[in-house]
Structure 1
Amino acid sequence: MDVQILQLLEGARDARGLTVIIDVFRAFSTACYAYGKDAAKIIPVGNIEKAYQLKKENPKFILMGEREEKKPTGFDFGNSPSLLSSANLSGKTIVHTTSSGTQGIEAALRADEVITGSFVNASAIVQYIRNQNPETVSLVCMGYACEYPTDEDTLCAEYIKNELLGHDNDFARMKKIIRRGSGKRFFEPENQEWAPSNDFELCLQRDIFDFILKVKNEGSINYLQKVRVAEKTNTITQ
């Protein structure tokens, strides 16, 4: 198995094989939490105007996401797992647009298969890749607004790669690096309305979900399919 780590939109465009689009802070952590609250479907889109159009055509859809990390006008939720804590998402369809993760999904056109990446379901991701046993795995770190690499995405890619190749991981050390680096913005008082400090902890809880999110296509629309992966077996349930 050839496992490569790529960065930003260029990396997503170059990705081949089974591709993991990684956005820890916060798109694909938030998406897992939304499915954990029994959302019916998540539709990831890159263009915010497309999100507004889908809402106009389907008034019952929920809009979730960010631009410059803040909740856009007219959206129901920002891109924050903390702010979903009291939300009733059961049976809801969510349109999700972000500055990094959802952009990567749309750019990964040469990949054989695309799943999302985060720490909250890292073991399920690793097990799913082992079950599929692809020749090539592309781990794409989407970084901050697709502009520059970030600690959390790069370290998440390294974590997954190490697990796949049987190398040791020091998650506690990784978490400290993230806290001192790109994660420190979650602890700045002026950011708490849109980047609450609890998001840091929620996004860095390892393996609290036993499913992966796989990009599927329905007509001209992508959606994230929740696929549960049984630990240490080859069993996959949908």
Structure 2
Amino acid sequence: MNIRILQLIEGAQQADGLVVVIDVFRAFSTACYAMERGASRIVPVGNIKEAFRLAEEIPDSIIMGEQNERKVPGFDFGNSPTHILEADLSGKTVIHRSSSGTQGIVNAVHADEIITGSFVNAAAIAEYIRYRSPETVSLVCMGYAGERPSQEDTFLAEYIRDLLTGKPTHFAEMVEELRKGDGARLLDPANSEWSPATDFDLCLSLDRFDFILRLEEENGIRYLNRIDSCTFERKK
């Protein structure tokens, strides 16, 4: 298995094989919490205008996401797992726009298959990759707005690579580095309105969820579907 770690929009455009688009803080962590709160599917989009258009066309839908880390006016939720922790999303289609993660999905045009990446379901991601056994795995770190690298996304790419290759992982050390480094922005009281400090721990709740989110398409709409790990474990 050829495992590649790529960075940002350019990396997404170069990615091939089974592509894992990574956005730890916070898009694809929040997406997992949304699924756990009952969402039926998540439709990732690249721009705000498209999000509003789809919300008008898709019955029983809500919009979630951000621009410059802040909730977009008119969206139902921002990009915070804290803010949806008690939300009832049962049966809802969640239309999701973010500055990093969903941009990676839109730009991964050479992918054979796309799944999302976060620490909250890292073990399930590695297990799914083993199950699929692709020739190439592209781990795409989306960083800040797809323009500059971030510690958390690179750490997750390295963590998944180490799980796949049998190397020791150092998650606790990563958390402490993030607390003082790129994750400190989540702990800054000045950002609490759109990024509560609790988001830090929620996004780093390792293996909280035992499912992956895989991009699928139906009736011209591409959406993230929840695939529980017990499903692909039974198929081995």
2:41–2:224 contact (8 Å) kept in structure 1 = yes
Moved more, 153-162 or 82-91: 82-91
Q: Residue deviations 1:172-227, cap 9 Å, x none? A: 00111111111101111110000100000000001010100000112332100100
For residue 126 of structure 1, what is the aligned residue in structure 2? Answer: 126
Q: State the 1:57 CA deviation.
A: 2.3
Task: State the TM-score, normalizing by the size of structure 1.
Answer: 0.96
1:133-148 matched pairs, under 5 angstroms: 133-148=133-148
For residue 29 of structure 2, what is the aligned residue in structure 1? Answer: 29
Q: Residue deviations 1:86-123, cap 9 Å, x none? A: 21101111100000000000111101110000000000
For residue 235 of structure 1, what is the aligned residue in structure 2? Answer: 234
2:37–2:86 contact (8 Å) kept in structure 1 = no
For residue 226 of structure 2, what is the aligned residue in structure 1? Answer: 226
1:202 partnered with 2:188: no
Name stretches of at least 5 consecutive residues in structure 1 with no aligned partner: none
C-alpha distance in structure 1 between counterparts of 2:127 and 2:101, whole Å: 22
Moved more, 204-213 or 49-58: 49-58
Letter in 2 for 1:10: E
For residue 149 of structure 2, what is the aligned residue in structure 1? Answer: 149
Letter in 1 for 2:233: N
Q: Secondary structure at the match of 1:34?
A: helix
Moved more, 173-182 or 201-210: 173-182
For residue 163 of structure 1, what is the aligned residue in structure 2? Answer: 163
* Cα RMSD, aligned residues only: 1.3
Identity %: 56
C-alpha distance in structure 1 between counterparts of 2:17 and 2:57, whole Å: 34
C-alpha distance in structure 2 between counterparts of 1:219 and 1:175, whole Å: 41
C-alpha distance in structure 2 between counterparts of 1:119 and 1:104, whole Å: 17
C-alpha distance in structure 2 between counterparts of 1:125 and 1:172, whole Å: 19
1:1-238 matched pairs, under 5 angstroms: 1-58=1-58, 60-230=60-230, 234-235=233-234
Q: State the 1:62 CA deviation.
A: 0.4
Task: State the TM-score, normalizing by the size of structure 2.
Answer: 0.97
Letter in 1 for 2:95: V
Q: Where has structure 1 moved over 6 Å in runs of 4 or more? A: none
Letter in 1 for 2:54: L
C-alpha distance in structure 2 between counterparts of 1:230 and 1:153, whole Å: 26
C-alpha distance in structure 1 between counterparts of 2:206 and 2:123, whole Å: 8
Number of residue pairs matched? 235
C-alpha distance in structure 2 between counterparts of 1:219 and 1:15, whole Å: 25
